[in-house]
Structure 1
């Protein structure tokens, strides 16, 4: 397998910062995303390489291993262990590996890894789990109010997902067995999906509670009465008490956001009244308000 230069794929140099890596990945992923390049095999291949590159370079530990071991970064610990074992054997057996002599540090280890003879000479094949993949899913707050299914394209493959209601911004979900192929008969890697939730509604979300502001006309605030307000999934009727003050808060229990993985459980909705003072009063209205003011002063 040819060596893959992940820095070159993202058009970066080896001194790139984490922020530069993230920016380069997002730019390249948008450019080569299968949804924007339907039936384009070259773009599909490029998109897969971009995701592989990001998987390695966006993780500090993985990046360090990659810089040292290149494409075989996933086996860095095995390399080090094998090297230590070889040094131990050589120290005690005086070049007991014969024909390998002083040439390459990992010759026998590579043979055992890829199906050749093992260091013990018994032809053992070592199994390794496949590479884990990372993906981002951008949704609107309305999208995660209810449980729904969605198709996500990862490395050219369509994956049908069930997205539970109440998933949070920045939350990471693991989909087992949807990563890269294993080697030596090892299991597939996993897929880690990071959710980015954007809020384009008039509601503010804090944990599982929702907050919003409702305009209340002066007359309703003074005299009270029934009003209808918008909730996240419909409308609700509220009774306004006479003499309601500006900034008064009321709670609608169970009208907030769903709690993740707890079916039927919701937070609360908090409404703040914002009293609107009437403008452009008629001459008659001004007279009446003047009379009211005199009554309050008497």
Structure 2
């Protein structure tokens, strides 16, 4: 496996923070994106390297393995297990704990992948491929209904179904869409983290939605009908006479879809905010003064 310096690919140092990595990735990805570099094979190759670097360095656990094992970081767990086993065996024979050199490390990987002093021992051992991590940014409206979307990971287009009701920060696993296995081992998985942006008039709390509408003073006092927006259209509500400011009403089943529960929805809570009339005419002031005297 050819060694690729992921830090160099993103133009950062090993002291880079998570925020530094994110900024560098976005900058480089924009520069080498295939849409901006059509038919440019070098840019396409660079874009794949940038994505690969980000998938490793943006994951704290993978970054730690990469910093320690370099190009063989994907097999860190296998090496550590073998090291523990050898330590146990040597410790049992010698009555003490064993110390390991870089040569031991190299011999171990040589034995897995063939060649070296281990003589090809364990050459057919299969290892599972690397898991990929990706972030998908969507608007709240996008996850109100189940839909399909194409996601580009490591230069490959993956068509996936996004269930309605996905929550912000939720991670779902797509089995078998990670890196290739070693020696015929199974592929890794793809972990997608959802970042849900909300530019709507509704606030989401789990499966419930909350919104505020203005109610004019006269309707609040005398009652009447008001049309309000929901996520799937408008509904007409009957306002009770003498409705107080910040009164909250619940519309059952008009909230957000419940994740992976077809046909189930949360509730919509509407808060009435009474709007006080301004720029009163002389006659309106007189009428309010008469009302004040009656009270």
Q: Give TM-score scaled by structure 1 length.
A: 0.87
Residue number in structure 1 paired with 2:216: 217
CA distance in 1: counterparts of 2:200 and 2:42, whole angstroms: 39
CA contact (8 A) 1:148 1:163 kept: yes
**Deviation sequence 1:210-267 (CA, Å, 0-9, x none):** 1111111111011001111111111011111111111111111111111111111111
For structure 2, the 5+ residue unaligned runs are: 94-100
Residue number in structure 1 paired with 2:97: none
Evaluate the alpha carbon distance shift between residue 87 and residue 137 of structure 1 in structure 2; reply closer, same or farther with a 3 A threshold: closer
Specify the SS of the correspondent of 1:105: helix
Cα RMSD over matched residues? 2.7
CA distance in 2: counterparts of 1:234 and 1:263, whole angstroms: 19
Residue number in structure 1 paired with 2:98: none
CA contact (8 A) 1:113 1:184 kept: no
Residue number in structure 1 paired with 2:172: 173
Shift of 1:115: 3.9
Is 1:256–2:262 an aligned residue pair? no
Specify the SS of the correspondent of 1:227: strand
Shift of 1:286: 2.0
Give 1:9-158 correspondences, 5 Å limit: 9-82=9-82, 104-106=103-105, 108-116=107-115, 119=118, 124-158=123-157
CA distance in 1: counterparts of 2:128 and 2:122, whole angstroms: 20
CA distance in 2: counterparts of 1:103 and 1:263, whole angstroms: 56
Specify the SS of the correspondent of 1:285: helix
Shift of 1:87: 7.1
CA contact (8 A) 2:110 2:120 kept: no
Select between 108-117 and 59-68 the one with higher mean Cα deviation: 108-117
Specify the SS of the correspondent of 2:103: coil
Shift of 1:83: 5.0
Residue number in structure 2 paired with 1:237: 236
**Deviation sequence 1:27-83 (CA, Å, 0-9, x none):** 323333334444433232222212221222223332222222210011223334545
CA contact (8 A) 2:112 2:121 kept: no
CA contact (8 A) 1:257 1:266 kept: yes
For structure 1, the 5+ residue unaligned runs are: 94-101
